[in-house]
């Protein structure tokens, strides 16, 4: 399939363009709001066509799908335009600025019979899939709690809109808490009901939070504790899932690369859990292509993107107000 890129972004350059090509896809065209940047970017990435207007990219009938990785406030309008033009959509997280916007994007794609996926890459990793399989197989018994550790040190080249521009969707909650929401939903197979939270701004940026801690209640009664930050150089990442009959420790697994280690601890002792080390983004695109071919769902559907956004926004609202929030998934709309 031929793809159009919407957004001349870092994530596309560092991971997704390579992943598309590794999955046998053609990256044919780029739309960016900044013509000079777009031309340099397209030349560096070997992309033949540059369109300053999104509608010109979408008018190309040979383009079957678009990958949207612009800043967050642009996702909604760009996705709706792509769907209206009959393109399948792989959209970056967070899908939009509000749950209602995100739900509208997904409903439009469903109505048009198009595949719409959210690029929540972590659920594509071998480590996360191995842990989910252990949980599903009952290896740790009834799940009691999940602790997510995702405090990173934001690299200097990403310290732009993410830490300075609320209007573009900046802040650690839409950036990383949304991923952690998706990880919890993926691992446990259920959606948080309510959250309590605190957030902080250390001065790395302006006008948005750079750290958050929250506790979520799951329908099963399991509890989830989540920590995200842009300001922690040495914290490392990972999660622990504790069950009535065992615990799983996953360290260094909240990454873009297939890294880390997983350990299962039960009454029988401790055992390393092997997992495949495939490229997370290639896996996501492979699953997307299967869905386009009629063979099932993308790794993270549009509805997953809406639900994970709903959790993240509930965390921010709980932190802002100091009041426990029920998660509003917008499912009645």
Residue closer to ligand NDP by CB (options 10, 321) is 10
Q: What number of chain residues touch ligand NDP (CB under 6 A)?
A: 21
Contact segment (CB under 6 A) with ligand NDP among 1-9, 47-55, 229-237, 313-321 equals: 1-9
- The residue within the footprint of ligand NDP, chosen from 25, 28, 69, 127 (CB under 6 A), is 69
> According to the binding rule CB under 6 A, does residue 325 interact with ligand NDP?
no
Secondary structure (DSSP) of 235-291: --EEEEEEETTEEEEEES-SSSSS--EEEEEETTEEEE-------HHHHHHHHHHHH
Distance CA 273, CA 257 (A): 18
> According to the binding rule CB under 6 A, does residue 185 interact with ligand NDP?
no
> According to the binding rule CB under 6 A, does residue 258 interact with ligand NDP?
no
> According to the binding rule CB under 6 A, does residue 32 interact with ligand NDP?
yes
By rule CB under 6 A, what string of x and - marks binding of each residue 266-295 to ligand NDP? ------------------------------
Q: Which of residues 72-91 bind ligand NDP (CB under 6 A)?
A: 72
- Starting from the edge strand earliest in sequence, which strands make up the sheet with 261-266, in order? 269-272, 261-266, 246-251, 237-243, 143-151, 223-229, 211-217, 194-200, 325-326
> According to the binding rule CB under 6 A, does residue 93 interact with ligand NDP?
yes
> According to the binding rule CB under 6 A, does residue 71 interact with ligand NDP?
yes
Residue closer to ligand NDP by CB (options 249, 308) is 308
Distance CA 51, CA 56 (A): 6
- The residue within the footprint of ligand NDP, chosen from 42, 67, 88, 92 (CB under 6 A), is 92
Query: Exposure pattern of 183-192 as b/e (b: 16+ CB <10 Å)?
Result: bbbbbbeebb
Q: Is 65 helix (H, G, I), strand (E, B) or coil?
A: strand
Residue that is written with structure tokens 């709980």 in the block: 318
Contact segment (CB under 6 A) with ligand NDP among 8-16, 211-219, 257-265, 306-314 equals: 8-16
Secondary structure (DSSP) of 77-123: HHHHHHHHTT-EEEEPSS--SSHHHHHHHHHHHHHHT--EEE--GGG
By rule CB under 6 A, what string of x and - marks binding of each residue 112-141 to ligand NDP? -------x-x--------------------
> According to the binding rule CB under 6 A, does residue 331 interact with ligand NDP?
no
Least Å from the CB of residue 85 to ligand NDP: 17
Q: Which tokens is 223 given?
A: 């509890």
Q: Cβ distance 192 to 218 under 8 Å?
A: yes
- The residue within the footprint of ligand NDP, chosen from 25, 28, 70, 127 (CB under 6 A), is 70
Least Å from the CB of residue 11 to ligand NDP: 4
Least Å from the CB of residue 50 to ligand NDP: 10
Residues 6+ apart with CB under 8 A from 51: 29, 30, 31, 57
Residue that is written with structure tokens 């340099």 in the block: 40
Environment class of residue 60 by beta-carbon count within 10 Å: exposed (0-12), middle (13-18) or buried (19+)?
middle
Residue closer to ligand NDP by CB (options 10, 206) is 10
Residue closer to ligand NDP by CB (options 93, 232) is 93
Least Å from the CB of residue 283 to ligand NDP: 12
> According to the binding rule CB under 6 A, does residue 11 interact with ligand NDP?
yes
Give the DSSP H or E segment for 318: helix 302-321
Q: Which tokens is 175 given?
A: 């950036």
Chain residues binding ligand NDP by CB under 6 A are 7-11, 32-34, 37, 69-72, 92-93, 119, 121, 158, 160, 175, 256
């Amino acid at each position: 399939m031929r793809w159009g890129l919407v957004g001349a972004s870092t994530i596309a350059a560092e991971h997704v363009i390579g992943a598309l090509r590794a999955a046998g896809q053609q990256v044919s065209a780029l739309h960016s709001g900044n013509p000079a940047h777009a031309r340099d970017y397209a030349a560096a990435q070997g992309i033949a066509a540059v369109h300053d207007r999104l509608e010109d990219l979408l008018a190309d009938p040979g383009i079957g799908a678009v990958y949207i990785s612009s800043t967050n406030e642009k996702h909604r309008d760009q996705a709706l335009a792509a769907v209206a033009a009959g393109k399948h959509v792989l959209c970056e997280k967070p899908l939009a600025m509000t749950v209602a916007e995100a739900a509208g994007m997904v409903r439009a794609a469903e109505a048009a019979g198009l595949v719409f996926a959210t690029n929540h890459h972590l659920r594509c990793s071998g480590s996360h899939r191995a842990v989910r399989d252990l949980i599903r197989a009952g290896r740790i018994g009834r799940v009691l709690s999940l602790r997510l550790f995702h405090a990173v040190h934001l690299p200097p080249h990403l310290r732009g809109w993410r830490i300075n521009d609320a209007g573009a969707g900046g802040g650690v909650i839409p950036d990383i808490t949304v991923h952690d929401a998706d990880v919890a939903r993926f691992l446990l197979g259920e959606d948080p009901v309510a959250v309590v939270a605190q957030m902080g701004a250390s001065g790395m940026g302006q006008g948005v939070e750079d750290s958050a801690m929250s506790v979520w209640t799951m329908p099963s009664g399991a509890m989830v504790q989540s920590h995200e930050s842009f300001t922690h150089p040495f914290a490392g990442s990972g999660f622990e899932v504790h069950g009535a009959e065992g615990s799983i420790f996953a360290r260094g697994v909240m990454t873009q690369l297939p890294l880390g280690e997983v350990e299962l601890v039960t009454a029988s002792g401790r055992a390393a859990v092997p997992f495949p080390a495939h490229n997370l983004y290639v896996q996501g695109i492979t699953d997307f292509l299967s869905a386009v071919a009629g063979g099932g769902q993308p790794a993270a559907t549009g509805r997953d993107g809406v639900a994970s956004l709903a959790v993240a926004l509930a965390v921010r609202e709980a932190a802002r107000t100091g009041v426990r929030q029920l998660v509003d998934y917008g499912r009645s709309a």
